[in-house]
Amino acid sequence: MQNIRNIAIIAHVDHGKTTLVDKIIHASQIFRENQQFQDLILDSNDLERERGITILSKNVSVRYKDAKINIIDTPGHADFGGEVERVLKMADGVILLVDAFEGPMPQTRFVLGKALALGLTPIVVVNKVDKENCRPDEVHEAVFDLMFNLDATEEQLNFHTLYGSAKQNWMGPDWKNPTNSILPLLDAILEYIPAPKIEEGTLQMQITSLDYSNFVGRIAIGRVKRGKIVENQQIALCKADGVIKKMRVKELQVFEGLGRVKVSEVNAGDICAVMGVEDFEIGDTIADPETPEALPRISIDEPTMNMLFTINNSPFFGKEGKFVTSRHLRDRLFKETEKNLALRVETTDSEDKFLVYGRGILHLSILIETMRREGYELQVGQPQVIFKEIDGVKCEPIELLVVDVPQETAGKVIELATQRKGELTIMEPKGDLQHLEFRIPSRGLIGLRNNVLTATQGEAIMNHRFSAYEPFKGTIPGRINGSMISMEGGPCTAYAIDKLQDRGVFFVDPGDDLYAGQVVGEHSRDNDIVVNIQKGKKLTNMRASGSDDNVRIIPAKKFSLEESMEYIQKDEYLEITPKSIRMRKIYLDENERTRMAKKES
C-alpha cells in the first residue's frame, strides 16, 4: 500500500485557493527547471481565467516525502455547490482557506457545513496576512465559532491552524514571524489529515465526476472505497434505478502531477479514472460482479431558480451562430445535466422551449456563456424563483445576504434591501467598512446588485447564499422604469438618438442594426414607449447657424450577461448569440403586445 492523503481545498471566492494550489505544485517540483507555465494553473478554462473564479473542481496530485497527496480544488461560489457536494466524497480532509481580513464569509459556511457533515478533518489556513488591516487572531476565533455553530465534533474543533500568504509563498504557525517556505503546510497535511480508511470487502468505487476524451469517450472518475480495481477486470455498474450492468475495465489511470498516468491496478484509497465504463451517471457505483453492493447516492441541494430557454426566433436568427435549431438546444442542455448535478432540465408543451433549473443567476449565466462561446444561438426569459407548498402554505427561498460597504453609504444599502423585503439582522463595523447581514427573498436579489453598486459608487462587496424556504413575503417592486422599443428595423442614427435623449437612457450606439420590437433603452417613466430611432435628418441646400448644431450623444449603457438577465421584465426575452446580447419584447409587433397585455389583465 502506498502512503496517500486525499484533501479538498475549500474557501470563499477570492480568498486565494487556486494560488495556494499553484504554490504547492511548485514546491513539489512537478515542473522541470526550464519549463514555462502560467499562474493559476488549475483555472484552465477561458471563463475561469477571465472572471478569476473557479467553476469546475479539478484533481492534481503531488509527491512529498514518501507520500502522494491528491488535491481537489473546489469552486467558492454557492451557485456551484453541486460541484463541491460531489467531490467532497473523494476527500478525507479539507484545507479551509480564510482571508485574514474578511474572515469566514457566507459561502465558506455553506461548503464547510457540507465537509463537517461528512466527518472530514479540517486544517485552517489564514491566508493573506500581508494585507493591511488584517486581523488573523480575530479571524481564527471567528472560524472556531463558525465550526461550533455548524455542530463540528470535538476532534474537528481541535483543528490545526497555519498562517501565511500564498502569494508570498510562505506558511507557518505564527503570522508575526514569516517563514520562507510553503512546506509547513505539506508537513501539516501529512501529520493531521488521516490516511484513507480501508474497509475489508469486495470492490466499491463511487463515480463522483466525469471526463471526456475523443478517443475513448466518457471516463469515470472516483475514489476506490474498498477492494482494488484491475485492468481488464469484469465489473458491475450499480445504477440509480437498481439496475446492475456487467462491463469490463479497458484502462486505468491515476492522477500524477497535473496529468494522469496509466496503471495496471488501483488500491483502495486512491483516486482514479476508469475507461471502458459506458452509460454511467455521477453517483453510480462500480462494484464486484459476483456480490455487487451500491454506495449511498450523492445528495444534492435542490435548485432555487428557473429560466425558460428557447430557440432564437428573432429577425436576426441564424446570422451569427452555428447551432440554432431546437434539436441542438435540447441535446446540449441534456448533455450538461450529465456532469452538472445541480442543474435540471424539463421539457414543456412546446417542442422548442425548455425550463432549466439552477442554483442562481451565476450558475445559469455560466451555462449560457459557455453555450454562446460554442456557437449556440438561444433566447432566455426572465429568471423565476421556485415556490413550494409546505404544509399548505406557499413558501419561497430566503437567502442570507452579506454586504460590506463604506460607512457613509450603508444607509442607502439598507433602504434598497428593505424595499425588497430584506430584514436587517446584523450591523457591525469591520475594519473601515460597515458589515450588514440581511435575510432576503431570492426574488429580491434579482436586479439588486446593480442598484447597490450604483448607490455605493461600486464600493459594496456583496455575497449571498441560500438559507431556507419560508412563507411567501408578499409582492416585491420590480424595475420601476419602462422600456424604449424600436418602432422598425434598420440601423439607428445619431440624429434620432440625440433628439430622444430626454426620454431616457439608450443601450445602443449609432449605426447598430436593430429590428422592430427590440428594447433599445430605458424609459425615464414607468411605461413602455415605442420610438423611431432610425429617423435621419432631412437635408436641404440651406444652411443655418441655429439648426446645424453638432449631435452630442451620451454613451450607451452596456450590460454584462448577468446584468441583462436581471434587467429584463416578464414580457421580454434576452437574445443571445456568439457575438451579441440583445433585449427584445416577446411579441415584436406593437398591436400583438397590446392584445396580449389585455388578455392577461
DSSP state of 77: S
16 has binding-site annotation: yes
H or E, element range at 202: none
Q: Which triple of cell numbers denotes residue 312?
A: 432564437
18 has binding-site annotation: yes
- Between CA 76 and CA 9 the distance in angstroms is 10
What are the beta bridge partners of residue 253? 262, 273
130 has binding-site annotation: yes
**What is the DSSP code string of 434-448?**
EEEEEEEEHHHHTTH
- Between CA 255 and CA 209 the distance in angstroms is 14
Return phi, psi of residue 284, to 5°: -70, 160
| Largest Cα–Cα separation, the chain | 97
**What is the DSSP code string of 39-59?**
SSTT--SHHHHHHT---S-EE
Q: Contact, 362 vs 77, CB < 8 A?
A: yes
129 has binding-site annotation: yes
Q: Which residue has the cell 424556504?
A: 469
Residues contacting 403, CB < 8 A, separation 6+: 413, 417, 435, 436, 437, 438, 452, 460, 461, 462
Q: Say which amino acid occupies 40.
A: L
Q: Contact, 75 vs 42, CB < 8 A?
A: no
Cα angle 430, 435, 441 (rounded to 5 degrees) comes to 160
Own/partner contacts of 130-138, CB < 8 Å, gap of 24 or more, are: 130/165, 130/167, 130/168, 131/99, 131/100, 131/101, 133/101, 133/431, 133/432, 134/100, 134/101, 135/100, 135/101, 135/103, 135/431, 136/100, 136/163, 136/175, 138/103
H or E, element range at 243: none
**What is the DSSP code string of 424-488?**
EEEEEEETTEEEEEEEEEHHHHTTHHHHHHHHTTT--EEEEEEEEEEE---------S-EEEESS
- Between CA 73 and CA 165 the distance in angstroms is 18
Laid out side by side, the sheet with 3-11 consists of: 58-64, 67-73, 3-11, 93-99, 121-127, 160-165, 170-172
Q: Which of 131, 175, 12, 2 is nearest to 79 (CA)?
A: 12
Q: Which of 298, 392, 248 is nearest to 86 (CA)?
A: 298
- Between CA 361 and CA 446 the distance in angstroms is 8
**What is the DSSP code string of 376-430?**
B-EEE---EEPPEEETTEEEEEEEEEEEEEEGGGHHHHHHHHHHTT-EEEEEEEE
What are the beta bridge partners of residue 514? 490
17 has binding-site annotation: yes
128 has binding-site annotation: yes
15 has binding-site annotation: yes
127 has binding-site annotation: yes
For the annotated binding site, the residues are: 14-19, 127-130
For the annotated binding site for GTP, the residues are: 14-19, 127-130
